[in-house]
Chains A and B, each alone.
Chain A
Amino acid sequence: MSYETVIGLEIHVQLATETKLFCGCSTEFGAEPNTQVCPVCLGMPGVLPVLNRRAVEFALRTATALDCTINTRSVFSRKNYFYPDLPKGYQISQFTEPVAEHGHLDIETSEGTKRIGITRIHMEEDAGKLLHGEGAEEDSYSFADLNRACVPLIEIVSEPDIRSAEEAVAYMKAMRDIVVYTGVCDGNMEHGSFRCDANVSIRPVGREKFGTRAELKNINSFKFVKDAIEYEEQRQADLLDEGGTVVQETRLFDSAKGITVSMRSKEEAHDYRYFDEPDLLPLVVPGAMLEEVKATMPELPRAKRDRFVSEYSIPEYDAGVLTATRALADYYEAVVKETKEPKASSNWVMGEVLRVLKEENRDITDCPLEPKRLAELVTMVKGGKINSNMAKEVFEEIYKSGKTAAEVVEAKGMTQISDEGELVSQIDSIIAANPDEAERFRGGEVKLQGFFVGQIMKATRGQANPQIVNKLLKERLKG
């Protein structure tokens, strides 16, 4: 039988705050275990949570980017369960009244743009990390590091609108772009700053009723999302084809084997006994805060891409590359602002700049060549001061040294020779030195033009303006 897959994603986004959701401990990744903890995030007796304002701002920013309805009153709840990475024995989350609902995100698929509904966005605290013992002595223990406990997250729950692994990946990528663009998340999937659970079910094509779903846990790369969903589609289809039934359960993706496995240990306690968190009053978003968030919303990736195409008349492909990150887009725009040459600037940024950054494994945010210095180079090329071969040499130099293009050109005596009188005498002496070639050229062997240009370039150490050389050569060789 042929089936249709139905997918809903729950994406966990770690908010890029300085401090935790309910206390002043640092959220920085990679510290020694249990060095970023205090009585509050350790869940010591008698301590109380106080909400981080920036975390709320970030949640509102995300909600705005996803066109959600923002609930001006939302409520924190306790989700009760025991686990050694959960210091209080409950997670502070939002349940009945989340901070935002009813949004959407448009994604690009092979069949065009598709709109995926966002059910809700809620705020919650992360749990700590468990390390497992290795070696005989420690084999029977686990070790709790609570640095990550209480780090702020938002969970973005999609409608079951996604129909394939590809769409799921496109949705996740588009979502990551948005949270990184809006500055609410560093997007680091390896560190777990952006991860997802996928609810996957299948149904016979044409049937409206959803099938029983499996919840795939903690998927932290685009590839794993694809692999996990594809494996799960096949597993469920095989089950149904054999006359079996899909059980509603939590399954863990084993990325090494590329399979999902049932997590029976998590099945037992789904009775979370949610109730309103009495230590935190309802969150009423002040009007001024919401206005501030709306006023300072950055341009989102899609809008920026469209604007680049229309405002700068650059190809869609260029716009796509240049808006891949907000920092790269900002860099490009800073260059264009100086050069007023969108396409030439695009070529330089997409070409040389990205190439050398890639070689050096650097991010655009720590590119040693400021947009202003690159712009100067682009302008010099455009104005005919130097030719493009020279320009590449100059680029390497200004990238490494911190000098301006003018300084490099000056120091190397690289200024382009555009003076026709000077060039004519050079050309004439080259023609005189190569009478055979000159004769063959006049006889119709036009490709020899290249030979003469090469000779002139050699004689002028590459400084001759190639356009003028070409023009003059034709005149002089006609002779």
Chain B
Amino acid sequence: MSITGKDVEYVAGLARLALKDDEVDTYTAQLQRILSYVEKLSELNTEGVIPTAYSVSTSTPMREDIRAVSLERDEALKNAPSTARGCFKVPRIIE
């Protein structure tokens, strides 16, 4: 499969990455090279093979529904680049 500049722009949009003009070409070329390399996976017949998503095969553990201590609000907001009204402040969302 070959990747186009348009694909790169679409993916950058999904991933919320700004691209400079020359970066579209660089990424297209680099991703193309990597994708050509991984293309060799298609040599393998994997019909019926169950995909592995986890390295552990047990069931997810469950915790009891018991309250734990939350952060103090100051602590929760301390690392935020911008806060107001006890909240994380962000550019206005238009709906």
Contact A51–B66 (Cβ < 8 Å): no
Residue of B59, B77, B87 near A283 (CB, 8 A) is B59
Contact with A along B77-89 (1 / 0, CB 8 A): 1000000111111
Q: Are A281 and B87 within 8 A (Cβ)?
A: no
In the bound assembly, the distance between CA atoms of A42 and B65 in angstroms comes to: 19
What's the minimum C-beta distance from B41 to chain A, rounded to whole angstroms?
17
Residue A448 at the chain B interface, CB threshold 8 Å: no
| A360: interface (CB < 8 Å) | no
Q: In whole angstroms, how far apart are the Cα atoms of A271 and B10 in the complex?
A: 11
Interface core residue of B16, B60, B71, B86 (most chain A CB under 10 Å): B60
- Give the CA-CA distance A424 to B73 in the complex, in Å: 79
| Segment at the interface with B among A33-41, A157-165, A438-446 | A33-41
In contact, B93 and A33 (Cβ under 8 angstroms): no
Number of interface residues of B (CB under 8 A): 35
B6 touches A (CB below 8 Å): no
* Complex Cα gap A32–B76 (Å): 13
CB distance A142 to B92 under 8 Å? yes
Chain A residue nearest to B86 (CB atoms) is A33
Given contacts A53-B64, A143-B88, A143-B90, contact A82 B16 (CB under 8 A): yes
| Known contacts A34-B76, A50-B61; A281/B54 CB under 8 A | yes
Verify B62–A52 contact, CB threshold 8 A. yes
Instruction: Answer whether residue B44 sits at the interface, using C-beta atoms and an 8 A cutoff.
Output: no
Bound Cα distance from A265 to B49, whole angstroms: 39
Closest to B72 in A: A35
On chain B, the residues within 8 Å of A269 by CB distance are 14
* Complex contacts, B65 vs chain A, CB 8 Å: 17-19, 52-55
A98 to chain B, nearest CB (A): 15
**A23 at the A/B interface (Cβ < 8 Å)?**
yes
- Docked-complex contact A39 and B71, CB < 8 angstroms: yes
Is there an interface contact between B84 and A138, defined as CB atoms closer than 8 Å?
Answer: yes
| Chain B, residue nearest A266 (CB) | B95
Verify if A246 is at the interface (C-beta below 8 Å from B). no
Q: Which of B67, B88, B90 contacts A24 (CB 8 A)?
A: B67
CA distance in complex: A301, B64 (Å) = 29
A82 vs B16: C-alpha distance in the bound complex, in angstroms?
8
Which B residues are in CB contact (< 8 Å) with A275?
A: 53
B38 within 8 A of A: no
Q: Which residue of B lies closest to A76 (CB)?
A: B60
Task: Known contacts A32-B86, A145-B86, A281-B54; decide if A37 and B91 are in contact (CB<8 Å).
Answer: no
Q: Which of A127-135, A175-183, A396-404, A460-468 contacts B (4 or more CB under 8 A)?
A: A127-135
Q: How near does chain A come to B65, taking the closest CB pair, in angstroms?
A: 4
Of all chain A residues, the one with the shortest Cβ separation from B61 is A50
Among B14, B60, B77, B93, point to the contact of A280 (Cβ < 8 A): B60
Q: Mark B46-68, 1 if CB is under 8 A from A, else 0.
A: 00000001101011111111111
Q: Cα distance A33–B80 when bound, in Å?
A: 15
A284 to B91, CA, bound (A): 42
B18 contacts the other chain (CB 8 A): no
Q: State whether the Cβ of B45 lies closer than 8 Å to any Cβ in chain A.
A: no
Q: Smallest distance from the beta carbon of B10 to chain A beta carbons, Å?
A: 9
The docked-state distance in angstroms from the alpha carbon of A130 to that of B85 is 12
Contact in complex: A281, B77 (CB < 8 Å): no
Chain B's closest residue to A152 (CB) is B65
| Binary B-proximity of A214-236 (CB < 8 A = 1, otherwise 0) | 00000000000000000000000
With A and B bound together, what is the CA distance between A53 and B66 in angstroms?
10
Determine chain B's interface SS by DSSP, over half rule.
loop
- Residue contact B70 to A36, C-beta cutoff 8 Å: yes
Let me know if B94 is at the binding interface, CB within 8 A. Answer: yes
How many residues does chain A have at the interface if contact means C-beta atoms less than 8 Å apart?
55
- Contact (A131, B70) CB under 8 Å given A51-B63, A53-B63, A142-B93: no
Contact: B85 with A33, CB < 8 Å?
yes
On whether the beta carbons of B63 and A42 are closer than 8 Å, the reply is: no
**Are A131 and B92 in contact (CB-based, < 8 A)?**
no
Residues of B within 8 A of A56 (CB): 62
C-alpha gap A38/B70 in the complex (Å) = 5
Min CB gap B55→A, angstroms: 9
Contact of A51 among B53, B61, B67, B68 (CB under 8 A): B61
Residue pair B90, A142 in contact (C-beta under 8 Å): yes
Q: Nearest chain-B residue to A25 (Cβ)?
A: B70
| Also in contact, A50 and B63, with CB within 8 A (given A141-B90, A142-B93) | yes
* Interface members, chain A 270-318 (any B CB < 8 Å): 271, 273, 275-276, 278, 280-284, 286
**Which residue of chain A lies nearest to B89 when distances are taken between CB atoms in the complex?**
A141
A146 in contact with B88 given A19-B68, A265-B95, A281-B54 (CB within 8 Å): yes
Give residues in B with beta carbon < 8 Å to A: 13-14, 16, 53-54, 56, 58-71, 73, 76-77, 84-95
* Further contacts, 10 of them, CB under 8 A, given A25-B68, A53-B64, A280-B60: A26-B67, A35-B70, A36-B70, A37-B71, A42-B76, A131-B87, A133-B92, A140-B92, A142-B90, A275-B53
21 interchain pairs, CB-CB under 8 A: A19-B67, A23-B68, A26-B70, A32-B86, A38-B71, A53-B63, A131-B85, A138-B84, A140-B92, A141-B84, A141-B89, A141-B91, A142-B90, A142-B92, A145-B87, A268-B13, A273-B14, A281-B56, A281-B58, A281-B59, A283-B59
